[in-house]
Every structure is written in C-alpha cells, then in structure tokens.
Amino acid sequence: MSEPTATRLRREAKTELDKTVVGIELTLISIIQGLALAMLATAAVQPMLKLQWETWPYIFTGLLVILIFWSRSLIHTLSFIGWPLEFGHTFGYFGATLIEAAALTEVADPQAWFALNACYALAVWGLYAWDLRVVQRQAGDFTTDEERLLHADIVRDQRENIFVLMPLAVAFQGVSWWLVRHYPGAMLGQRWHLVLIGLTVLFNLNYLHQGVRVLRRRRDWILARQAQERTEA
C-alpha cells in the first residue's frame, strides 16, 4: 500500500472514530443527566405538593445545575472531543454526576445542599482542569486559522473556569454551608438561607447564559473544523 493511500485511509478511519466517540459522549451526557433529573423530580414531589415554598428556589437551582452540566458537556463534545476516547474525562463525568445527584436529593435541607454542592463544584473544577490538559495535547490537530481560533477560545474558557469561576463557586458554596451550620437561628429560623440560594440562582442563570454565548461564538469555527476533517478524509 502506497504512503498516500495509507494516510488517506488513516484519516478516514480517524473521522469515523471521531463520530463514534462523539455519539458515545452525547448518549452518555443525556443518560446521566436524565438520571440526575429523575433524582431531582423525586425529591421535589413532596415539597411542591405540600407548598413548602422555601424549597422551591433549591428545586429551580437544581434544574439549572442539570441544564448547565448538559449544555457545557455538549459544547465540550462538539468543540474538541474525538478519538482516542479520553477515559479520565469520561470517568470524571460519572463521579461529578454522582455528587450532583446526591446534592439534588437535599432540596429540603440547606446545610446538606450547600455541603454537597461545594463538593460538586470541586468535582467540576477538576473536570475543567483535566479537559484543559486534553485540549493542550490536541493543539497540533488545530491547523487552519478557524481551528486555531477555536482552540484559543477553548483554552481561554477552560482557564477562566479553572482560575476564576470554579474557585468562586467552591468558596461560595463552602461559606454558605459554614454559615448554615454555625448560625442556624439566623440562616434557617430567620430564613437568611434564601439570600444564599437566591445568589446561587443568579450565578447559575448567568453561567447558563454564558454557555449559550460560547456555543454561538464557536459555531462557525466548529462547522469549519468539521468541513476541514471531511475534506481531508
């Protein structure tokens, strides 16, 4: 087999494997976040039926958490996930979702909610750090001008999450847990915990909106990269 033919076949195989990996990722994301949604729905039934309105902001926040995980994972998959399958990244999804699902069951217990969400934010922080390593290893695969712009945007977003957003999320959830634990009279008795969950809602709404903006910004670059891969294949 000649070298050009071998190279072409290798590119075609890589393109097909990329499609397979993307399909696996999208299926995995939908399944695990579907399970998380089921956990939230189960935990929300009684508070909603009994009109326990203090839990409703927690239920809404839980829905935002699921939407954020799903949308951000989708953006990652479309932006840089491909062959070979990155098991550390995939296993991280399972670990983070386990903590996420546990947190979503505690909509009626602010102390447990904030404690578990601090752990969840820490797990997501680790996922971003791991994914940055994956993206940096793949730098050589981004060869055209559009691909380099896409790669630069991915790295910039990962670093913003690693060095700013996720540390703030861990700190806020951790401090909120500490306040509820040590000042239950003010936080629970006087309902100051609603201020904390209200701030969480605002942060999550903004973060979800940022994810939408990221996908809009990248869509042309992602399309150009897919077209380039098809041309090479």
CB 99 within 8 A of CB 124: no
Whole-number pLDDT of residue 12: 67
* CA 131 – CA 161 distance, rounded (Å): 11
Torsion of CA 25, 27, 30, 31, to 10 degrees: -110
Q: Dig out the tokens for 133 from the structure.
A: 């390593």
Residue 170 has pLDDT above 90, yes or no: yes
Whole-number pLDDT of residue 219: 85
Q: What is the residue-wise DSSP string for 37-71? A: HHHHHHHHHHHHHTT-GGGHHHHHHHHHHHHHHHH
CB 21 within 8 A of CB 82: yes
Q: Which residue has the tokens 């990155």?
A: 86
CB 132 within 8 A of CB 154: no
Domains of the chain, by residue range, sit at 3-232
Whole-number pLDDT of residue 141: 76
Which has the closest alpha carbon to 233: 39, 56, 14? 14
Mean per-residue pLDDT, 113-138: 95
Mean per-residue pLDDT, 180-194: 93
Between residues 13 and 188, which one has the greater pLDDT?
188
* CA 122 – CA 99 distance, rounded (Å): 10
Q: What is the pTM of this model?
A: 0.91
Whole-number pLDDT of residue 133: 92
Residue 56 has pLDDT above 70, yes or no: yes
3-state secondary structure of 86: coil
Which has the closest alpha carbon to 41: 74, 69, 66, 8? 66
* CA 228 – CA 146 distance, rounded (Å): 10
Mean per-residue pLDDT, 133-159: 89
What type of residue sits at position 153? D
Q: What is the residue-wise DSSP string for 187-209? A: IIIS-THHHHHHHHHHHHHHHHH
Residue 222 has pLDDT above 90, yes or no: no
CB 221 within 8 A of CB 147: yes
**Distance linking the first and last C-alpha atoms of the chain:** 17
